[in-house]
Amino acid sequence: MNTIQTLYREWRGQDAARIERLAGAGSNRRYYRLWDDEECPVIGVEGTDKAENEAFVYLARHFRRQGLPVPEVFCVSAEGMCYLVEDLGSLSLYDALCQGRANGGKYDDAEKALLFETMRQLPAFQVKGAQGLDWSRCYGQQEMDRRSVMFDLNYFKYCFLKPAAQDFDEVRLENDFQHLAGNLTQDETSGFLYRDFQARNVMLHDGKPFFIDFQGGRRGPFYYDVASFLWQASARYPSELRQSLIDVYYEELKNLTQVPTRDEFDDRLSLFVFFRTLQVLGAYGFRGWFERKPHFLSSIPAALDNLCELIQGQTVLAYPYLKEVLEKLLEEKGHEATKVDRREDSSQAKRTKETISRLVVRVYSFSYKKGIPEDESGNGGGYVFDCRSTHNPGRYEQYKTMTGLDAPVIKFLEDDGEILSFLNHVYELADKHVERYLERGFTDLMFSFGCTGGQHRSVYSAQHLAEHLFNKYGIEVRLCHREQGINRIFKS
């Protein structure tokens, strides 16, 4: 943090009035929000890989010159290990779509509008972003070539197939992998391949999508990013919605560059969806089984559901032995594909898998005037958080009849920002506690949020913690807004 503080002082001419450590993502980078005296925040990033930092800074500045919606880079430290960027807020597209995910892929009109706008922006990012770009500045590799495809296919083989105790013939599988790699790399048309284009890497700033975490990008086919986004395992987009989003993407792409016919486009996209699904399973296997991260374990069944649909199509017929191996893997609809417990060193992964379905988290909102909710499990009641230190919408006439579930109240709280800072600390504490309970096999945990009337701040906080824990860990969460008589169960 000292380096970030020094960089801020050199850039701003004064020390930061306030610094807050933000929750980390999947990387080793550390993020901070820094405020000046006028409460104007910026984001500080401390990276562990200088080349990765340099790629992000170069790409961000290039994309800004192309008029693309990315955060502005304000300054970089002399040694290149940290930098300050524009603060785009705390609401990602992934967070904004939480209701649709929780409803099993039933997205409302507002959520669909965000998805359509994101897909309209993607072609410009791929085409305009590639114009004048120095590909040698990309991180890791300059393009998606045969070698990089084989890296990902072997990632799937060694981090998913083998840990799942799936038997296969190495030579026959390698033959199909080589065939698949050749087909994936035959495209002549290419642009900027984001590589990790997903809802968590799209921030909503003033209601519009902005793009982050593109430092792993390279030159490559357009199809890969479409596959990454629309077949994201946890999203469960209905096929009709997915098709409409592809339609919008294709029409926008046609306005920017020469494209194949729609039938050809769809055929190529199917191939990349298949490839991306294998790559994702490799990542889930590594992050879940080897790094012991429950969120990735809980994502495996949804990815296997995607794979189950794909192997019934025409695309996989060109790879007969690979198809045979995958059919064996999915023999029991994928649910037994997590048989990592056959390995002698996998007892912890087995326990984690079992406890994901056993732990139940109960989250309450309540009014202090009516008392703290009782603990039904008899385990002592868990955490009670007092929301009354944050700005109260109930003091204003226009919000008196609303709750923390209503859009105007949500906007008030998030624009004010106090509740977001409050919840960042809650999330950090809750995550550590849930992970420890999963490891130890405990079955009950309770979080309660109280405010004066149990109507605005406590309701907002309870709702967001429930969605956060469900989305991150896939565990069962029972939500109760006590004063409104609203009860909901997020099934594991």
The phi, psi pair for 463, rounded to 5°, reads -60, -45
How far apart are alpha carbons 131 and 63 in whole angstroms?
10
User: What pLDDT does 350 receive?
Assistant: 45
How far apart are alpha carbons 271 and 265 in whole angstroms?
10
Residue type, 367: S
Which residues lie closer than 8 Å to 485 by C-beta, 6 or more apart? none
pLDDT-derived band at 195, boundaries 50, 70, 90 = confident
Which residues lie closer than 8 Å to 86 by C-beta, 6 or more apart? 42, 43, 71, 72, 73, 74
Residue 170 exposed, middle or buried by CB count within 10 Å (0-12, 13-18, 19+): exposed
Tokens representing residue 92 in the block: 């990602």
Give me the long-range contacts of 54-59 (CB less than 8 A, separation at least 24): 54/80, 54/137, 54/139, 55/137, 55/138, 55/139, 55/215, 55/216, 56/83, 56/139, 56/214, 56/215, 57/83, 58/134, 58/137, 59/133, 59/137, 59/138, 59/214, 59/215, 59/217
User: What pLDDT does 43 receive?
Assistant: 95
How far apart are alpha carbons 362 and 354 in whole angstroms?
19
What are the angstrom distances between the C-alpha of 457 and each of 10, 174, 178, 204, 409?
Answer: 38, 56, 56, 22, 9
CATH fit for domain 2-86, picks 3.90.1150.10, 3.40.228.10, 1.10.10.10, 3.30.200.20: 3.30.200.20
The phi, psi pair for 260, rounded to 5°, reads -70, 170
Task: List, for residues 437-452, the tens digit of each pLDDT value.
Answer: 887 778 899 999 999 9
Q: What is the pTM of this model?
A: 0.68
What is the per-residue burial (b if ≥16 Cβ within 10 Å, else e) of 379-390? eebbeebebeeb
Q: CA 336: distance to chain centroid? A: 25
Identify the CA nearest to 48 among candidates 79, 21, 88: 79
255 SS3 class: coil
pLDDT-derived band at 26, boundaries 50, 70, 90 = low
Task: List, for residues 349-384, the tens digit of each pLDDT value.
Answer: 444 344 344 789 999 999 999 999 988 777 777 899
124-133, 160-169, 250-259, range with the lowest pLDDT: 160-169
How far apart are alpha carbons 20 and 34 in whole angstroms?
7
Average pLDDT across the chain, whole number: 88
The phi, psi pair for 64, rounded to 5°, reads -60, -40
Q: Where are the domains of the chain?
A: 2-86, 93-345, 359-490
How far apart are alpha carbons 423 and 430 in whole angstroms?
10
User: What pLDDT does 145 receive?
Assistant: 92
User: What pLDDT does 407 receive?
Assistant: 86
pLDDT at 184 over 80: yes
Beta-bridge partner residues of 442: none
Identify the CA nearest to 35 among candidates 6, 70, 8: 8
pLDDT at 408 over 90: no
Strand (E) positions, 274-380? 360-367
pLDDT at 348 over 50: no
Residue type, 300: I
User: What pLDDT does 24 receive?
Assistant: 60
Which residues lie closer than 8 Å to 189 by C-beta, 6 or more apart? 221, 222, 257, 258, 259, 260
How far apart are alpha carbons 257 and 128 in whole angstroms?
10
* Helix runs in 13-108, H state only: 50-65, 93-96, 98-102
Q: Which residue has the higher pLDDT, 465 or 378?
A: 465
User: What pLDDT does 361 receive?
Assistant: 94
CATH no., domain 93-345: 3.90.1200.10
